[in-house]
Structure 1
């Protein structure tokens, strides 16, 4: 069985979802009540792949909401409690989705293996970052040519280049896609220089320097709230792949010649009888999901019950190949630009 650990996009949405599920006592509570609310296994599902393999899974709502991010102890407890529940339910492989993965990595929850009387078995959990990195790379390779962007001649900026997903994306684009030039952007300079050395190329730039040069921009970092960019200075066409969380590039960059694509999202080949992706505000919630969630499904399809994506900078091209081939074989496709976006590009 596979598991998915997720959460609502806001406190308001979480309260509405709890009301819909019949948890009135939680739905009517304030944020302090939600901080003490335990995780809930809210849905079971059966999925049949494109090659006829059947698996079963469960969705666990961590009862975490983004408004809790400033409460370190609460955020930490929410993720660990949800992982404990997944393990107690006997789930073979569980993906950490949304902020739960970010909290796990940034707060170094690997140091917290004991949750009450349960010793967490790390082999049962995955961040899903390998599949996310592969999906983002494929989204660039598929969609850039549709806008007339030749990747062999293009400059591609990776914002958040030194992170787990960002560094994997950089390695893939450098060695597999063969983009003309990588523009490396991140907050800390020394890790950027180390990445540049590891890649054997790429230019280290500040965000405001990279954006006007880039034919495509891959965001695997949160959009700075105070970012002020003159859109008239950006190249056109420009493809922006929003691989961060939450996905909010549309608010800053959408406009003529700038094409924003939700990054790290896949679509299954047929409808799945679940409600869980409505929480994530997917355009087609019966088929679409975050690539990190799909990684848990793929590992279950492949009987590969292991922490496939774990720690920082452990994603190899071989792992990306494995999970990418499995993704295609079992019926997943990457999210693409909508036809109206393409028509506008050549209008």
Structure 2
């Protein structure tokens, strides 16, 4: 059995979803209540592979909200992730994906040092961040969607915002080693990590965000949006392909301009309907077929009986692992979300 650990995008979103899912006691509560709310299994899932194989899973709502980080309730945020992992393990789930902020919190706050959660000793081999599949899908979106909008990779400048993160660095490795990209622009806050990545790749220009964006034919956004930063679409090239790999996905509503094509990054479509209700509440366009690639990774590992933390730690994603998860993804009927029409 596979598991998915997720969270909602805001307090307002959480209150609305609690009402829809039949948890009225959660629906009118403020942030303090959510800080103490325990994890809940709120969905039972059945997935059929293109091969005909059927697996089952559970969705664990962690009750983490992004406001907990914004209001410095760091202890509450870290507790949410660890408690959700313990909850998944207690329910006998073989492999669980840490979705959204869950994996970021786990990495940034070194939660691997906390192995004992009450009566549960966490077995980290039962968990995956799903970042390898996410990075693979974003790279395939770059390759396939660029053709849709008339951009040739061999002549394209690609800017990666969040280049030193786990997903961003993997995307850079792919673009450097698998795709014939003319120019690579590296954008991140940590200059030392940027220089190390540039040395590893043997190429790439380190640039500030405001300088890089007007030069890019393709922008891969896999960073959180800094407060106060606005992207002026009139300064971008036309055509420009902008792949929004963040969470929550909001660049499509912020940037609406002729010639600027925004694609939700790291989203896959399954070839068959998935029996679940959880994707309805995270606003997927086709909730029976579309899902986050990180969630799909735990499904793929369950299909293949690969009960291991396939994606784990920072900057551990290799091209070989991306190739492997990509082959398995195609085998079981997943494909990257592309532009409509």
Residue from 159, 162, 166 that aligns with 1:160: 162
8 Å CA contact 1:157, 1:182 repeated in 2: yes
CA distance in structure 2 between the aligned counterparts of 1:310 and 1:76, rounded to whole angstroms: 17
Q: Is 1:254 aligned to residue 256 of structure 2? A: yes
CA shift, 1:65, in A, is 1.7
| SS at 1:152 equivalent | helix
Residue from 313, 316, 325 that aligns with 2:315: 313
CA distance in structure 1 between the aligned counterparts of 2:309 and 2:231, rounded to whole angstroms: 39
**1:149 match:** 151
Unaligned runs of 5+ in 2: none
Q: Is 1:107 aligned to residue 109 of structure 2? A: yes
Q: Label 1:224 to 1:338 Cα distance change in 2 as closer, same or farther (>3 A).
A: same
| SS at 1:255 equivalent | coil
8 Å CA contact 1:155, 1:183 repeated in 2: yes
CA distance in structure 1 between the aligned counterparts of 2:107 and 2:13, rounded to whole angstroms: 25
Residue from 126, 145, 155 that aligns with 1:124: 126
**Map of 1:52-67 to 2, 5 A cutoff?**
52-67=52-67
CA shift, 1:280, in A, is 1.5
Q: Label 1:230 to 1:11 Cα distance change in 2 as closer, same or farther (>3 A).
A: closer
**1:192 match:** 194
Q: Label 1:231 to 1:317 Cα distance change in 2 as closer, same or farther (>3 A).
A: same
Point out 4+ residue stretches in structure 1 off by more than 3 angstroms.
Answer: none
CA shift, 1:51, in A, is 0.5
TM-score (structure 2 length as normaliser): 0.97
CA distance in structure 2 between the aligned counterparts of 1:32 and 1:13, rounded to whole angstroms: 15
**Map of 1:1-347 to 2, 5 A cutoff?**
1-69=1-69, 70-339=72-341
TM-score (structure 1 length as normaliser): 0.95
| SS at 2:153 equivalent | coil
CA distance in structure 1 between the aligned counterparts of 2:160 and 2:232, rounded to whole angstroms: 19
Q: Deviations over 1:242-288 (max 9, x none)?
A: 00112121243221110110000001112112101122211111111
Q: Label 1:248 to 1:88 Cα distance change in 2 as closer, same or farther (>3 A).
A: same
Q: Label 1:155 to 1:77 Cα distance change in 2 as closer, same or farther (>3 A).
A: same
Unaligned runs of 5+ in 1: 340-347
| SS at 1:177 equivalent | coil
Q: Deviations over 1:46-77 (max 9, x none)?
A: 21100011111000111112222231010011
8 Å CA contact 1:223, 1:249 repeated in 2: no
- Bigger mean CA deviation after superposition, 327-336 or 20-29: 20-29
Q: Label 1:111 to 1:333 Cα distance change in 2 as closer, same or farther (>3 A).
A: same
- Bigger mean CA deviation after superposition, 16-25 or 85-94: 16-25
CA distance in structure 2 between the aligned counterparts of 1:288 and 1:326, rounded to whole angstroms: 17
8 Å CA contact 2:233, 2:256 repeated in 1: no
Q: Label 1:181 to 1:22 Cα distance change in 2 as closer, same or farther (>3 A).
A: same
CA shift, 1:229, in A, is 4.0
Q: What is the number of equivalent residue pairs in this alignment?
A: 339
The RMSD of aligned alpha carbons is 1.1
Q: Deviations over 1:162-200 (max 9, x none)?
A: 110000000001000120110011011111111011001
